[in-house]
A = this chain, B = another copy of it.
Amino acid sequence: MPTTIPDKYRDLLDAKSFASLGTVMPDGSPQVTPVWFDWDGKHIRINSARGRAKDKNMRRDPRVSITILDPDNPYRYLEVRGRIVNITEDGADAHIDALSQKYLGKPYPFRRPGEVRVSYDIDPEKTSFMG
């Protein structure tokens, strides 16, 4: 049975909020970075580039936590804990452009030479929230 995001917090899945992604380092300690995200109706989708710390972490240990703050009320948030169920470079370039459209209103302007974009799907397993 899929974990449902509480109705009261579903708006945050479409909000232009930044999210904070927690991953696990090789030594078991946590790593947290801000990320863009979107929602495909089932998964929270994020995007990074091949070889970055979080890319390596998610390939080694698929368990993540992602916290989304309400952009209009920082005392309201949703945390989704779950697992990366799909990692792909197919369509990942188009995906970062779509995320950039969402957040910046234009195609992704920060590409670096040789950068290979990667998309990750997070399957929600547990949620917690406040506000």
Interface positions of A (Cβ within 8 A of B): 18, 20-25, 28-34, 53, 61, 63-67, 69, 74, 77, 79, 81, 128
Contacts and interface: CB of A to CB of B under 8 A. Distances in A.
Copies in the complex: 2
15 contacts: A18-B69, A20-B34, A21-B32, A22-B32, A24-B28, A24-B29, A28-B28, A30-B31, A31-B65, A31-B79, A32-B66, A32-B79, A33-B67, A34-B74, A34-B77
A73 to B, nearest CB: 11
Given A28-B63, A29-B65, A31-B65, 5 more contacts: A20-B32, A22-B22, A23-B30, A30-B32, A33-B67
A63 B27 CA distance: 10
Nearest to A76: B34
Nearest to A24: B30
Contacts of A32: 20-22, 30, 32, 65-67, 79
